[in-house]
Amino acid sequence: MQSLFHFQSLAEEMVAADAGRERMLRAMDAMWHNQWSLPPNVAGLKWIHKVVSSDPHDAVRAGARVLSSVAPRLSVQPLGAGPAQRARAEQIERALAWHFRNAGRRRQASVLRDVVLSALLYDEVVAQVVYLPEQQGAAGLLGERAAAARGRMAARFGPFAILVRNPQQVHVRYSDWMAEAVLMKKVISLREALDFWGPRAKGLAATAATGRGGVKPAELTHCTLYDYMDLEQRVVWALPQAGGTGLIAPTGGDAGPVEILREPHDLGFLPWAAKVGGTTLEESGGQQRIPLLYSIFTSGEWDTLNIVETLLASEVIAYAAAPRMKIEGPSDGVDVDYGEPGRPAYVPPGHKLDALEPPGMDQGLEAIARRAAERIGKSTVPRVLQSGDYPAGTGYATLNLATQSGMKALAPYKELAEEALSEVFGLMLEWLQHSGQPLEGRDGRRGRGEPIRIAPGELAGLAVDVELTADVPTDRMARINAASMAVRDLGYSRQRALEQIGESDPGEVMRQAAAEQLAAVELEIEKQARLAAAGLAAKPAAAHAGSDGPGGQGFNPAAGGEPAVTAGLEPEK
């Protein structure tokens, strides 16, 4: 196996290849976090009040809210035809969905929301799928001292952990076929590294205790962790450093690299879901990705809006205490009392008192700010999706068209998030097949909790598709109307129609509808039986249509007789 120096060289190449991408992603972070600096020539002016527009942040947040509010709908393609295979595929879908929910409960933030946010903000999704039994048993990743307690607590949320990583921490080497290798470079505290790697980090613990390269032990508080993995091997090493956190190069890194792990693995797959949107027509990594805010970054539209809004607000604030009165005369003996509203001002002879109009807003700056905000809205997400506000009197058709048009802007990122989640579920199945363990879960439907168990042999060759449903009321209403017309007028499949309107389990919805219909029929039969037992049974009114009924014209209301529904009723005694 190659030396640690060989993998360090590979890591340097992968980091250098993503230099253009890093600059673009840092700009995306700045807009997401509303971090903007004044130009140097105006930063020192005392009358300037900095204003930062939150439009880019609001656009990304709106897109994440729209696409992550509904649980993803899984579709497992059955390996055979027939109801038995379809029922088995539905069980696999429910078991995978159950594990996905548990993996989300394990994390501080929602897995789905992080995946969607990464797709919108970076146009790239990188997630590590960990199978805890394999990791605990083979690599001892939970440490030696607290393995039992931590393992027991971790098992409460199932065997899977889905770690959605910031793409700035991960460098992926792609080929024309797939992702060939993944390098995660992350600055963490030294204590966190020692706790996570346990006995594997003995060399790192020794360096922290004795120091190295002129750095005292008390100064070694952090390390830059490198985790390299390809289809054959995994190598982990750390660079201890004297302080410093964040997505930066190590500082005070005279301690040198400390090897933690260097060994081949027999997985046969790469347990990383790495997907990139954008285009491969560009050569540079920074231009291959086209996040939602990309055009704002390349055009400088956000800078323009912030500068104009800053000047506009600063001017209004600076003139807030401008004079309101003009006094003309030989002295300053005019006294204006602002006590009671409407009180007159007494002006001595020879003096003149005139009111001054307050300074107005600069109409040019206001027009430019409005145009810049409109261009940002056109480039990202329409405001109808951000806030739901729309002019009074807007017709439903107009509002629905605006909503549908706004959803088109999110289509590339919705597709990217779906592909990434499909890869995540596929890696879950890969882990189970490698370990030889069955897929076990629970039926997550309301009111049910039956265990599900799928043998490892039934998981081979399965393809998992994921669909995200936008949580927009007008969009859902349009889907329902279109689906109902397709079923009624075109003979469309009801199950396919339910899928189109966003139902995550259309088969269960159809079974519930059938059960309700059967319950209604049984209730009607029971009601008729009780009426018959009481001697009050009557034939349905449809049975008398077109006939004289049991009593002839006497029970024909059109001829002035009794209603047909009373034909079976006995007269009162």
Q: How far is CA 289 from the centre of its chain?
A: 18
pLDDT band at 481 (very low <50, low <70, confident <90, very high): confident
Q: Please report the pLDDT score of residue 511 as a whole number.
A: 78
- What does each C-alpha distance from 477 to 8, 473, 490, 571 come to in angstroms? 55, 6, 19, 52
The phi, psi pair for 565, rounded to 5°, reads -65, -20
pLDDT in tens, 88-134: 888 888 889 889 988 888 888 889 999 999 999 999 999 999 988 87
Structure tokens at 55: 């439009």
Res 474 pLDDT > 70: no
Res 279 pLDDT > 80: yes
477 with 563, same domain? Answer: no
pLDDT band at 547 (very low <50, low <70, confident <90, very high): very low
pLDDT in tens, 139-158: 444 444 455 566 666 667 78
Determine, yes or no, domain membership for 248: yes
More confident residue, 391 or 34: 34
Residues 325, 353 contacting (CB under 8 angstroms): yes
Determine, yes or no, domain membership for 202: yes
Last residue of a domain, one of 242, 262, 278: 278
CA atoms of 62 and 411, how far apart (whole Å):
14
174 with 212, same domain? Answer: yes
Tell if the pTM clears 0.85, that is, is over it.
Answer: no
What's the burial of 204, exposed, middle or buried (CB within 10 Å: 0-12/13-18/19+)? buried
The one-letter amino acid at 251: T
Q: Please report the pLDDT score of residue 293 as a whole number.
A: 92
Lowest mean pLDDT of 64-73, 229-238, 247-256, name the range: 247-256
Q: Please report the pLDDT score of residue 388 as a whole number.
A: 61
Res 331 pLDDT > 90: no
Res 273 pLDDT > 90: yes
Half-sphere exposure of residue 75: CA atoms within 13 angstroms, side-chain side: 16
Res 227 pLDDT > 70: yes
Selection from 418, 385, 403, 395 nearest residue 475 by Cα: 403
Mean per-residue pLDDT for 432-452? 77
The phi, psi pair for 271, rounded to 5°, reads -80, 40
114 with 186, same domain? Answer: yes
Determine, yes or no, domain membership for 382: no
Selection from 235, 230, 225, 226 nearest residue 274 by Cα: 230
3-state secondary structure of 277: coil
Through-space distance between the first and last CA atoms of the chain, rounded to whole angstroms: 104
Structural element, H or E, at residue 258: strand 258-264
Domain count, the chain: 3
Count of helix runs (H) and strand runs (E) in the chain: 19, 14
3-state secondary structure of 227: strand
209 with 150, same domain? Answer: yes
Q: Which domain holds residue 518?
A: 472-534
110 with 193, same domain? Answer: yes
506 with 547, same domain? Answer: no
More confident residue, 239 or 140: 239
Determine, yes or no, domain membership for 270: yes
Determine, yes or no, domain membership for 376: no
Q: Please report the pLDDT score of residue 27 as a whole number.
A: 93
Lowest mean pLDDT of 127-131, 297-301, 454-458, 504-508, name the range: 504-508
80 with 165, same domain? Answer: yes
Structural element, H or E, at residue 496: helix 494-500
Q: Please report the pLDDT score of residue 35 as a whole number.
A: 92
More confident residue, 81 or 230: 230
Last residue of a domain, one of 236, 253, 278: 278
Mean pLDDT, the chain, integer: 79
Last residue of a domain, one of 278, 297, 314: 278
Q: What is the DSSP string of 356-368?
A: -PPPPP-HHHHHH
166 with 209, same domain? Answer: yes
Res 433 pLDDT > 80: yes
Determine, yes or no, domain membership for 104: yes
Q: What is the DSSP string of 434-488?
A: HHT--EEEE--STT---EEEE-GGGGTT--EEEE-----HHHHHHHHHHHHHHHH
Q: Please report the pLDDT score of residue 549 as a whole number.
A: 47
Residues 221, 240 contacting (CB under 8 angstroms): no
Residues 150, 142 contacting (CB under 8 angstroms): yes
492 with 551, same domain? Answer: no
Res 79 pLDDT > 70: no
Q: Please report the pLDDT score of residue 459 as a whole number.
A: 82
Determine, yes or no, domain membership for 164: yes
Q: What is the share, in percent, of the chain residues with pLDDT greater than 70? A: 79
Determine, yes or no, domain membership for 409: no
496 with 562, same domain? Answer: no
Q: Please report the pLDDT score of residue 52 as a whole number.
A: 93
Selection from 383, 427, 470, 416 nearest residue 118 by Cα: 416
Structural element, H or E, at residue 275: strand 272-276
Res 344 pLDDT > 80: no
- What does each C-alpha distance from 364 to 308, 311, 312, 367, 371 come to in angstroms? 10, 11, 10, 5, 11
530 with 541, same domain? Answer: no
Q: Please report the pLDDT score of residue 476 as a whole number.
A: 64
Mean per-residue pLDDT for 155-167? 87
